[in-house]
Amino acid sequence: MLCSTLGLAAADGEDSYQTRCALCHGGDGAGTDRAVSIIPTLQTSATARLAAIITEGVSSKGMPAVAMPADELGPLVAYLKTLAAAASPGARDPRAPQPRTGSLSLVGGGALSGTILNESGFDAQIRTEDGGLHFLRRAGNAYREDTIEPFVDWSSYNGSATSNRHSPIDQIDRNNVDQLTTEWFFPIHDMRMVEGTPVVIAGVMYVTAANQVYALDAATGREIWRYSQPRTEGLVGDPAIGLNRGVAVREDLLFTVTDHAHVIALDRFTGELVWDAEMADYRDHYGAVAAPLVVDDLVIAGISAGDTGLRGFLDAYHAATGERAWRFWTIPAPGEPGSETWGDPDVLRRGCGATWLTGSYDAELDLLYWPTGNPCPDLNGERRPGDNLYTNSVVALTPRTGALEWYFQFTPHDTHDWDAQEPLLLIDEEFQGRPRKLLIQGNRNGFFYVLDRTNGQFLLGEPFVNQTWAAGMDDSGRPIVLPGSDPTDAGSDVCPAIRGATNWWATSYHPGTKLFYLLAHESCMTYTKNDRDWQRGRSWLGGSVRLADGSPNQKFIRALDIQTGRTVWSYAQTGKAQTYSGVLSTDG
């Protein structure tokens, strides 16, 4: 991997690299006739692994062990990581497209000239000088331009700002759905799971993984461009797993978040970085996984790692520059409204309330709706005796300023980690005899909610799974909590499970059937509390959980009547309850 020359005294990382390594691996790490590029290894290897490669060698590849003092090794490894970050996509992965300037001949005469983004024996993608993107299919020695008709863009994480994953397309129906087959697949390197929803605009599909964005020809899966940066070491919580749920698009810019809580903007035609804004220092437990939401010229983004003792917030950035426009803190500061609902000030400042799922927007009302996460410590509420605002809530904000218009708290004083991070669907429908602007949600706490989204008025709350913690709701929508449902030292059995009766999984409302569809989880757990205090680098659960004895553990696709909350039908999934896919309804 790394090539040694004569030993030298401790120096900064760049000097060490140039004198010890560059002879074989080149000044930029891209390789020479003596050794291959080390960029892919630098991109995917942790610093400890790189240090081991240097000091232990890789004899099977001709890499000798290098005796190196620690005060030289550390800076060298840090410098190697900067080489990986600065490398082009093609250097990081030889499979990446290698754009070139050229012309492609067309069937029937003529040619297209510009930047050939990718080319194979079957197809090509070219961007012409006028900025147009053309998708070509090979026909003999020339190409023909391909069109797909009809098509409908999926232009944001949920398909629209209303978060309702219902598509008006009717091409797929019950008569032909069994004929669907795999058209293509695209492998994403070094990712054990992909939780994002692709965005498709004018034939280009944008797919993400942690710190990676790929632009694909939606019809063939051929890669057009990619953007990537190394994964961040030292993260805590869900960002450390390696998750990213998608992108947002405005005009020629594409926006996403990184694992270490940055918002970045890319040129959506080339993948080049336009701006990079840090939301918070990842060393304070902050990360990010959710797809941003674009509202006019603002990019709205939330943070994750909401079980680790951070202070939650939601940010808005100017799309053109990356300058922050406003911040809404989901955990109030001491003395601010809502701080009286916490008790211990040391808990207040680490109260969590993360914002790790994409929100919704009503353009007519000009209101932004965002779900918030659980309080910390998750399972022990003794040091936070009040309602713990604004956790487990939906907050309605003025998008231009971030000012709070109203909020509704689904689970006050949560002690089971039942975030409100489930999709907030905005629908206009008749309810209880008159037209209303509604917000509907299947919540992790096991209840289906209907709210008036103009003012947050509670209209309906009914269980859609077996739940044992609440006797129901009062007229304001506050749960009537049953005795004995909080975690104890010995453990208490409560339904639903910590994963929730549902979770961030996509939901939909069909305006034709008048039904709400979701993935429901029937399960119960034994919840145990403890008194462990916050520690840097660790989650702050304040307890533990296990599947309760005799508990079911199964998922169902369910259809609910929004007028009553009644389950109209339920379809059981087979096997273990490990799927995280949501639902999509169509007009077919």
Tell me how far CA of residue 411 lies from CA of 373, 408, 415, in angstroms. 10, 9, 9
Cα 497 to Cα 510: distance, rounded to the nearest angstrom = 28
Q: Which amino acid appears at position 151 of this protein?
A: F
Torsion, Cα 128 130 135 139, to 10 degrees, reads -50
Q: Maximum distance among all alpha carbons in the chain?
A: 85
Q: Which two tokens stand for residue 340?
A: 């009286």
Nearest residue to 555 via CA among 494, 492, 500: 500
How far apart are alpha carbons 270 and 253 in whole angstroms? 10
Residue 316 gets the label, from left (phi > 0), alpha (psi -120 to 50) or beta, of beta
Distance (Å, whole) CA 532 – CA 539: 11
Q: Which residues are catalytic?
A: 417
Check: CB of residue 391 under 8 Å from CB of residue 307. Answer: no
Is-contact 231 210, C-beta < 8 A? yes
Question: Rounded to the nearest 10 degrees, what angle do helices 13-20 and 70-86 cross at?
Answer: 90
Tokens of 380: 């022990």
Give the H/E segment covering residue 15: helix 13-20
Instruction: Strands of 140-183 (E only): list them.
Output: 142-145, 166-167
Please choose, from the candidates 309, 290, 173, 144, the residue with its C-alpha nearest in 3D space to the C-alpha of residue 236.
309
Within 8 A by CB and 6+ apart from 538, the residues are: 236, 308
- CB-based burial label for 509 (10 Å; 0-12, 13-18, 19+): buried
Q: How many CB atoms are located within 10 Å of the residue 7 CB?
A: 12
Contact 156, 199 (CB under 8 A): yes
Q: For residue 240, what are its two tokens?
A: 């450390």
Give buried/exposed letters for 368-394 (b at 16+ CB in 10 A, else e): bbbbbbbbbbbbbbebbeebbbbbbbb
Dist. CA 79–CA 306, nearest whole Å: 31
Element of type H or E holding 348:
helix 345-348
Give residue for tokens 């905005």: 426
Residues 6 or more apart whose CB falls under 8 angstroms from that of 535 comprise none
The strand pair at 166-167 and 585-586 is best described as: parallel
| Residue 28, both tokens | 């930029």
428-436 CB contacts, 8 Å cutoff, 24+ apart = 429/511, 429/514, 429/562, 431/459, 431/562, 431/563, 432/459, 432/563
Q: Is the peptide bond before 227 cis (omega within 30 degrees of 0)?
A: no
